[in-house]
Structure 1
Amino acid sequence: MKSVPVAELLSDDAEHLGLKLIYGKKIIDDKHITHFRIQKPGLALAGYCDHIHSGRVQILGNTEVSYLWTLAPDQRKQAMAGVCQKGVCCFIVTKDLHLPQEVIDTVKVFSIPLFKTDRVSSETIIDLSVYLEDRLAPDTVCHGVFLDVFGIGTLITGRSGIGKSECAVELIKRGHRLVADDAVRFKRIQDYLEGSSSDILRYHMEVRGLGIINIKDMFGVAAIRLRKKLELVIEFTDWNPDISYDRLGLDNVYQEILRHRIPKIVLPISAGRNMAVIVEIAARNHLLKIMGYDSAKQFAEKLTSAISDGGIHNPMADEIDKRMGRWGVE
């Protein structure tokens, strides 16, 4: 399970959260956050602590602090101790609220970091959740070139030297945008995958014979983007006359990345094929499918109907019938 040290809440990347450390300078590296969801322990302070999760940040907002002030000093210690005993990773006090001394004493006893912010609870929870979701998202690295083609996040894969970068450069010249080259990092963000480049490789591409080029400097900022949702995988493969490639567009192929099934197209490379144009067509066709129009299925249905009405036997119609039957289409 991935985790984030509590110390990262004070890093430059988390500066927008506006957190100040009240206690725990020596222990923030040892405490870890394991979930992006945030908790408000109001019910736990009242005695019901069964659902307090140790790996979640605990927010002490106006409701929690106001409740603690209504308790006697011994009761405050007891209420805070009940939550702290669950192994909480840290507390954050919002709106710069004034805390009872017993609260501070108790977090010191249990060695739990305590932060403060002058922001309201709702804003803190939203921004902190977004930050932690990005840091805790499962990730992987794929070899290929990742581009934004007509708004479709397109990953071009294939063996080294097959022409991925050359195709990508042509696509960039045609107005599309580079996200990452060579090592593309994908994160699972809820129900989709988001791709980006590492800090070292960002904006750069390797073109054999030329070496490393900087796309941002060469084509301008409009030719790059920092991250993009992955929607389509296109695999370049060497042409093999003994292999029967999909000629109708009826085969649904997927590639699984981080437990997500991404539509995949296999494109054989041969002399004379303009791969940049074909990738553009693939992206446009994927856009049509997203909008509910599948040209291959429409053509197959019309052809099958026409041949059936005319009583004409055609091998292509037999093939289409088999594939349509495989999908359960009548």
Structure 2
Amino acid sequence: MTVQEFYETHASQLDLEITKGAKGMDRLIKVSHIQRPGLSLAGYATRKKDHRILVFGKVELSYLKDLSQEASLKRLKGVITDSNPAVIVTRGLVPPRELIQHCREIEVPLLRTSLHSMPFITKLMMILSAFFSPKESVHGTLIEAFGIGVLIQGDSCVGKSEAALGLIERGHRLISDDVVILKRGEERLIGSGPSLNKHLLELRGIGIVNIAHLYGAISVREEAPIDLVIHLEDWNQNRYYDRVGLEERFVEYLGTRVPLYLHPVKPGRDIVLLIETTILNHRLKEMGHHSAKEFNQKLLEEIARKKNIVRKS
């Protein structure tokens, strides 16, 4: 990501502006780390913070203001190098002449934000961490239902998009169809879609439809955590399907395990209803209520009770 691309995408969110005469907007941002010069300006730096965006706040500018022009320029040259992608001044402060001069000389873009240093750094770190976190693209449809993120997968023509449409009709929300981009969040996987097919759903026989236009903005989301995966497949007479629910399956993406549920598809089965039931049952499990295990426990207790009766008789 270049500084120009970063600016165009996040300028409004971070309240950024480019200072007059700034150069080097085509520089690449290579790492998610951010650095405040702090004591580095006083010459206490033990190692250079290459490739990091540098953030200058009130403390740094106040220190530079107390130095002579020559000393200020010397300090800046020791901190800002041509490996830094950008320098950003916070609190809407006016950059000193020496800072502007040095950034122009080495063609490092100088930007400014009205935000205070800590809120700005927090937002910037979240943006860069999200951009640089590991990603993986998978085939499927991502839906949010009952507050649960559900990735619906399966072979082509098995009915993933049709199932998603049925869920949307019932008030649930579409995140992405066909291609889902996974990234690792702090605790869970986060799924989103490419901008090209944003809010679009492909339905064979109908074509591509815009869900946001058909059902309103409430029917779509930009991203959602992936709490479970539902795999649809054509009913196979020779395959065993769990009828009790004791068997637990998982699938792993980016080192994170996600519960997996297998649903066989055949005429007469209400897949939308089955998916909703799976989601609600999953929520119950998360709350500590496992219907299959509770039934199994009662069954074992009943068998043990009958054995005792037989022995006594």
For the aligned pair, the TM-score class normalised by the smaller chain equals 0.7 to 0.9
Q: Size of the alignment, in residue pairs?
A: 308
Query: Contact 1:96–1:119 (CA<8 Å) still a contact in 2?
Result: yes
Query: Contact 2:31–2:52 (CA<8 Å) still a contact in 1?
Result: yes
Alignment match of 2:237 (pick from 227, 241, 244): 241
Partner of 2:86: 90
Which range moved further: 117-126 or 101-110? 101-110
Partner of 1:261: 257
How many Å apart are 1:42 and its aligned residue? 0.1
SS of 2:19's equivalent?
A: strand
Asked if 1:279 is matched to 2:275, the reply is yes
Asked if 1:14 is matched to 2:14, the reply is no
Q: Give the Cα separation in 2 of the matches to 1:220 and 1:89.
A: 40
Partner of 2:215: 219
SS of 2:298's equivalent?
A: helix
Q: For residues 69 and 260 of structure 1, do their structure 2 counterparts lie closer, same or farther at Cα, with a shift above 3 Å needed?
A: same
SS of 1:235's equivalent?
A: strand
Partner of 2:147: 151
Q: CA RMSD in A?
A: 2.4
How many Å apart are 1:51 and its aligned residue? 5.6
How many Å apart are 1:24 and its aligned residue? 6.8
Q: Give the Cα separation in 2 of the matches to 1:256 and 1:144.
A: 15
Partner of 1:160: 156
Q: What whole-Å deviation, never above 9, does each CA across 1:257-311 have from its counterpart, x for those lacking one?
A: 2222111111112332111111011100111122222222222233223323433
Q: Give the Cα separation in 2 of the matches to 1:204 and 1:195.
A: 16
What are the residue-to-residue correspondences of 1:304-319 with 2, within 5 Å? Answer: 304-311=300-307
Partner of 2:2: 5
Q: Give the Cα separation in 1 of the matches to 2:298 and 2:248.
A: 20
Asked if 1:27 is matched to 2:28, the reply is no
Q: What whole-Å deviation, never above 9, does each CA across 1:41-63 have from its counterpart, x for those lacking one?
A: 10222223236532332111011
Which AA in structure 2 matches 1:236? L
How many Å apart are 1:164 and its aligned residue? 1.3
How many Å apart are 1:65 and its aligned residue? 1.1
Query: Contact 2:23–2:104 (CA<8 Å) still a contact in 1?
Result: no
Which range moved further: 20-29 or 280-289? 20-29
Q: Give the Cα separation in 2 of the matches to 1:202 and 1:104.
A: 40
Q: Give the Cα separation in 2 of the matches to 1:23 and 1:34.
A: 26
Which AA in structure 1 matches 2:158? I
Q: Give the Cα separation in 2 of the matches to 1:245 and 1:123.
A: 52
Q: For residues 70 and 284 of structure 1, do their structure 2 counterparts lie closer, same or farther at Cα, with a shift above 3 Å needed?
A: same
How many Å apart are 1:74 and its aligned residue? 3.6
Partner of 1:322: none
Q: For residues 89 and 242 of structure 1, do their structure 2 counterparts lie closer, same or farther at Cα, with a shift above 3 Å needed?
A: same
Q: For residues 266 and 56 of structure 1, do their structure 2 counterparts lie closer, same or farther at Cα, with a shift above 3 Å needed?
A: same
Structure 2 gaps of 5+ residues are 309-313
How many Å apart are 1:99 and its aligned residue? 3.8
**TM-score (normalizing by structure 2):** 0.88
Structure 1 gaps of 5+ residues are 313-330
Segments of 4+ moved more than 6 angstroms: none
What are the residue-to-residue correspondences of 1:1-330 with 2, within 5 Å? Answer: 4-22=1-19, 25-35=22-32, 37-50=33-46, 52-85=48-81, 87-311=83-307
Query: Contact 1:23–1:113 (CA<8 Å) still a contact in 2?
Result: no
Which AA in structure 2 matches 1:168? A
Query: Contact 1:6–1:33 (CA<8 Å) still a contact in 2?
Result: no
Q: For residues 175 and 201 of structure 1, do their structure 2 counterparts lie closer, same or farther at Cα, with a shift above 3 Å needed?
A: same
Q: Give the Cα separation in 2 of the matches to 1:260 and 1:274.
A: 30
Equivalent pairs: percent with the same residue? 36
Query: Contact 2:141–2:151 (CA<8 Å) still a contact in 1?
Result: yes
Q: What whole-Å deviation, never above 9, does each CA across 1:85-117 have from its counterpart, x for those lacking one?
A: 483222111123244433333334443222222
Query: Contact 2:22–2:104 (CA<8 Å) still a contact in 1?
Result: no
Query: Contact 2:23–2:108 (CA<8 Å) still a contact in 1?
Result: no
Query: Contact 1:24–1:111 (CA<8 Å) still a contact in 2?
Result: no
